[in-house]
Structure 1
């Protein structure tokens, strides 16, 4: 999250508008991740400080879309109507069938994402995120992907989530999984209350790559020694930014890219147990938020 009061007036805001929104989003996300600090377990030593792993969340670490599960929880708490949730469900169905975000949803999301929390306290949304994770997300983690993350932690490397989901929710997921932290979409706030605007844009596509690069600079990482995991062809920029790319539960386009580039492929949708997957080889080698926002836009229209 970003406190708008920290900006230096209209000149600073104009400068932000003139810059590439994807770069702004990436830098803001990295700054939020650094400010949040290390949320991983204290008893896991970090001995390999220049290598790290970056995991997409939706359909990579978690079955389905985290922001949709969050929306379900908010709907149960009367934040919006059943009709709104039906719109989210339609976007979620298309995501689950197609395995990727749509251009319409991500474009629409730049203007409408998080508008439903405008005026709400950041602390309130964070507290609700904790409750909703326990209710609707905890049992949706892919065991195989979680095992991959743990292998990096056991090797003394840091592990971050990288997701279009709001950074507050992403940090909750990371903390509950015992990971280092998270890069997510940053929502502007003033005096601890959301304005309904994003800093830059949704952390999607190229913005994820910018966030990873910015975090690498801040944390002293050697991206050639880092690994990234995703299910979506939209994350090719992030996957291409590191030394080792792994396609997890890939959509058809990412599977083709992975085959062409010689990237590793891990698919946990077949029911194979993680223990039977060659996870050690990964270590040896070194946004759907917009879709939900498109559904939420109905509430404001």
Structure 2
């Protein structure tokens, strides 16, 4: 049941490539074709970073390369904690994130991601955020995930949660296998807003009737693109902006956990990378 899966690569008005993909999740006819909701993933839909949980699952299966994961973890620590995210560095960081799957078959990675979602990610979906997404679906609106993580992760999460689809960073594929390089820019910051705008054009959406959810100030461009913005488990900068702009705030965390959750979600990647030194790595055939 549902539509076949398909990955689509689009270009903006300047000819720059951005990536987005449908999840392949079929839904009944949509009563409200002009409205949709866009959800960031890490710390918005789920506790922590989706790439961390994927890395942890791959580590348990001995499929990852320690050096590539460690380099990625270090860049993520710099960006998240020191707020030094620059477009060039982001490209390098996402290249590092994809390097360890170079040569792997797309089907193998999708199968592993599905297994790891069920094992490690599903228990960490925020129930409150899931209810928000389900409310949009119940109102006859489409719901899309928008993440800087590889689109395959978003596609699996969307499918498992019964959402419409996913927008994410696109990895280059040749002959059914990943090359370890990106197609276009990482789905981050202004690129997210551009992708949402492009999707709205393709899907016939009215952005003024749409809603966006995120935990991070990095997503201010996306949040500012739609008619209704909601800060979910917001970082300090986003919380201040939300209060200044009169945006709704939803926080599903409590106490000290609310103040500290953003750092462990990224720092834990480095801990996993260090632990991988104890394992021998193999790759899927």
- TM-score interval, smaller chain: 0.7 to 0.9
User: Residue 217 of structure 2 contacts residue 235 of structure 2 at CA under 8 Å; is this kept in 1?
Assistant: yes
Matched, 1:103 2:85: yes
- Tell me the residue number matched to 1:176: 160
More relative contact order, 1 or 2 (CA 8 Å, 6+ apart): 1
Instruction: Tell me which of 212, 217, 222 is aligned to 1:238.
Output: 222
Matched, 1:47 2:31: yes
Q: TM-score, normalised by structure 1?
A: 0.75
In the superposition, relative to structure 1, how do residues 129 and 101 fare at CA in structure 2: closer, same or farther (>3 Å)?
A: farther
* Unaligned 5+ runs, structure 2: 1-5, 256-264, 278-285
User: Residue 91 of structure 2 contacts residue 185 of structure 2 at CA under 8 Å; is this kept in 1?
Assistant: no
- Tell me the residue number matched to 1:187: 171
> What is the Cα deviation at residue 80 of structure 1?
2.5
User: Residue 231 of structure 1 contacts residue 254 of structure 1 at CA under 8 Å; is this kept in 2?
Assistant: yes
In the superposition, relative to structure 1, how do residues 292 and 119 fare at CA in structure 2: closer, same or farther (>3 Å)?
A: farther
Q: TM-score, normalised by structure 2?
A: 0.79
User: Residue 54 of structure 1 contacts residue 161 of structure 1 at CA under 8 Å; is this kept in 2?
Assistant: yes
Matched, 1:126 2:110: yes
User: Residue 53 of structure 1 contacts residue 227 of structure 1 at CA under 8 Å; is this kept in 2?
Assistant: yes
- Tell me the residue number matched to 2:246: 262
> What is the Cα deviation at residue 95 of structure 1?
8.4
* Unaligned 5+ runs, structure 1: 5-15, 272-287
Within a 5 Å distance, the mapping from 1:55-204 to structure 2 comes to 55-80=39-64, 102-103=84-85, 106-204=90-188
User: Residue 75 of structure 1 contacts residue 85 of structure 1 at CA under 8 Å; is this kept in 2?
Assistant: no
> For 1:113, what is the secondary structure of its paired residue?
helix
Q: Equivalents in 2 of 1:128, 1:95: separation in Å? A: 27
Within a 5 Å distance, the mapping from 1:5-16 to structure 2 comes to none
Structure 1 residues 204-253: Cα deviation after superposition (integer angstroms, max 9, x where no partner): 11111011001001100000000000000000000011000000000000
> What is the Cα deviation at residue 168 of structure 1?
1.1
CA RMSD of aligned residues (A): 3.3
Matched residues, number: 254
- Answer 1 or 2: which has greater strand percent: 2
> What is the Cα deviation at residue 70 of structure 1?
0.3
